[in-house]
Amino acid sequence: DSGVTQTPKHLITATGQRVTLRCSPRSGDLSVYWYQQSLDQGLQFLIHYYNGEERAKGNILERFSAQQFPDLHSELNLSSLELGDSALYFCASSTDDQKLFFGSGTQLSVL
C-alpha cells in the first residue's frame, strides 16, 4: 500500500459528460501529480500541484483541470468527455519531487 488513495476505482460515463477524480496524498507529502495511462501512450504527465499551487503542466487538455485543496487532497476534473479520454488516471504524491508514490488509479470508461 503506497499510502495514496484514489476514488473512485472505476467510472463509467457517456460522451459529453463531466467527472471528478479524487486523490488523497501520503501523509506529509505536499506534491501531487496526475498521470494518464493508455495502452498506446504509456504514462503521460498531466499536471503537478505543490501545497495548493500549480507547479507544472504536461500534456493536459484544456477540457481537463485540477486543483489541490488546503488539506492537500487533489481533484482532477474532466469535462466534455470523448471516447479517447478512456484511460487509467493515476495520482502520485512525493516529498522530494523525484520518487513518486502512486495510487491504484481510476479506470475511466467513456461510452
Partner 1 sequence: GESVGLHLPTLSVQEGDNSIINCAYSNSASDYFIWYKQESGKGPQFIIDIRSNMDKRQGQRVTVLLNKTVKHLSLQIAATQPGDSAVYFCAENIAGGADGLTFGKGTHLIIQP
Query: Which residues make up the interface to partner 1 (CB under 8 A)?
Result: 2, 4, 33, 35, 42-43, 45, 48, 50, 55-56, 58, 90, 92, 94, 97-105
What's the rounded Cα separation, in Å, for the pair 95 and 14? Answer: 36
Residue among 79 and 107 whose Cβ is closer to partner 1:
107
Enumerate residues 6+ apart whose C-beta is below 8 A from 105.
6, 9, 37, 88, 89, 90, 91
Least distance between partner 1 and beta carbon 26 (Å): 12
Q: Residue 33 or 64: which CB sits closer to partner 1?
A: 33
